[in-house]
């Protein structure tokens, strides 16, 4: 968390509640380098935390109620901490109440001020960032020592039950367990992970496409259902257990065949990307990003024309030593670019839209 965000959050807390907070909890957003739409298929992913994220300032409340102010929206909420009801419409309140409702142990009445510096709808997992930041605030307020995996599962349940998004656990784990400056190779089946330092001569940029990402009309959940249907047809628990040869022999119906081909291919690309990262092979890493974007666009159909055009423009500037692709669930959002450190300033300043430099 940058000091500016912390100080601003404290300042707004004092303005809203008339007193200083006890502390400020923070959780970053995440950029997924490669491994999209495979976490809910028990696959492998390669995300990393970023500098921007969500801050939650907190203090005890003396009236027995939870009082929450979302500074970015200029909106407030109030509820009893032991009986938060599910909002009728999904909003930031859904995540706050869901995290409170699912908290293990007694949660005291608190005053909370939420503020973030993640671009909204940018595909950088602002919802998981909010949930993990809330969980860290609740843990600090209750003196609870909660491990990153348990916190991630808690946040995932909130997404499922309070926001209605049948997400995997990549975002929550990347945010709860990730290390700054490192990519995390996460096995979404058993949640084991390895952390790899980004080479000093590599740079990672996030470029906002300007198209607000939305999980359009349940399309995210529909993709998950199509993957599950493909797994059932193949007689396996998940597509993690499928080889490309199995798909060629199975003659799955569409769109299940294309969805499964993306997942199986993407898991293989993550394995290759981890090797390229370890050996510092930026050219190979870039090829894998390009192949991953084409698969998300053509097989999984979750990209967007504006995002595709941005990826093509960035790739033409980067050339063969690096790569660009959409990052996140799709339907808009951001593009991740991995390129030589020596060219980062040039590409970032080339008028490609809002750029967030990760490392």
Known catalytic residues are: 171
Residues 241 and 121: their CA atoms lie apart, in Å, by 32
Query: Cβ distance 263 to 247 under 8 Å?
Result: no
Report the Cα–Cα distance between both ends of the chain, in Å, rounded: 14
Q: Which DSSP string corresponds to 70-116?
A: ETTTTEEEEE-TT-PPPPSS-SHHHHHHHHHHT-SS----EEEEEEE
- Residue 165, both tokens: 């998004």
Strands (E), 190-239: 193-197, 202-208
Query: Cβ distance 148 to 28 under 8 Å?
Result: no
In degrees rounded to 5, what are phi and psi of residue 267?
-60, -40
Residues 289 and 310: their CA atoms lie apart, in Å, by 14
**Residue 126: C-alpha distances to residues 52, 93, 295 (Å):** 10, 13, 25
**Beta-ladder partners of 197:** 182
Strands (E), 15-103: 23-34, 44-60, 66-70, 75-79
Distance of CA 241 to the CA centre of its chain: 24
Q: Which DSSP string corresponds to 137-176?
A: HHHHHHT----HHHHHHHHHHHIIIII-----SHHHHHHH
Angle at 184 between CA 134 and CA 281, to 5 degrees: 150
Angle at 303 between CA 301 and CA 305, to 5 degrees: 115
Q: Is 180 helix (H, G, I), strand (E, B) or coil?
A: coil
């Amino acid at each position: 968390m940058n000091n500016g965000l912390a100080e601003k959050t404290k300042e707004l807390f004092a303005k809203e509640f008339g007193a200083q907070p006890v502390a400020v909890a923070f959780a970053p957003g995440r950029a997924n380098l490669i491994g999209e739409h495979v976490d809910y298929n028990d696959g492998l992913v390669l995300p990393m935390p970023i500098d921007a994220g969500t801050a939650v300032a907190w203090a005890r409340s003396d009236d027995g109620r939870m009082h929450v102010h979302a500074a970015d929206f200029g909106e407030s909420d109030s509820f009893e901490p032991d009986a938060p009801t599910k909002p009728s419409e999904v909003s930031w309140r859904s995540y706050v109440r869901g995290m409170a409702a699912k908290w293990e142990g007694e949660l005291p009445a608190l005053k909370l001020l939420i503020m973030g510096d993640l671009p909204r709808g940018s595909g950088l997992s602002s919802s998981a960032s909010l949930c993990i930041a809330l969980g860290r605030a609740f843990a600090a307020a209750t003196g609870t020592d909660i491990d990153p995996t348990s916190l991630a599962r808690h946040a995932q349940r909130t997404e499922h039950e309070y926001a209605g998004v049948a997400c995997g656990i990549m975002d929550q784990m990347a945010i709860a367990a990730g290390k700054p400056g490192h990519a995390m190779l996460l096995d979404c089946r058993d949640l084991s992970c390895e952390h790899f330092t980004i080479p000093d001569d590599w740079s990672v940029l996030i470029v906002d496409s300007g198209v607000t990402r939305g999980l359009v009309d349940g399309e995210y959940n529909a993709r998950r259902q199509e993957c599950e249907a493909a797994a059932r047809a193949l007689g396996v628990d998940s597509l993690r257990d499928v080889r490309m040869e199995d798909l060629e022999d199975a003659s799955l119906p569409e769109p299940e065949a294309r969805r499964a081909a993306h997942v199986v291919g993407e898991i293989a690309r993550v394995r290759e990307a981890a090797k390229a990262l370890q050996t510092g092979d930026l050219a190979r890493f870039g090829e894998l990003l390009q192949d991953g974007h084409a698969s998300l666009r053509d097989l999984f159909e979750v990209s967007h024309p504006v995002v595709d055009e941005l990826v093509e423009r960035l790739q033409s500037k980067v050339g063969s030593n690096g790569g660009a692709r959409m990052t996140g669930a799709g339907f808009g959002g951001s593009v991740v670019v991995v390129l030589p450190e020596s060219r980062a300033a040039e590409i970032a300043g080339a008028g490609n839209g809002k750029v967030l430099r990760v490392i």
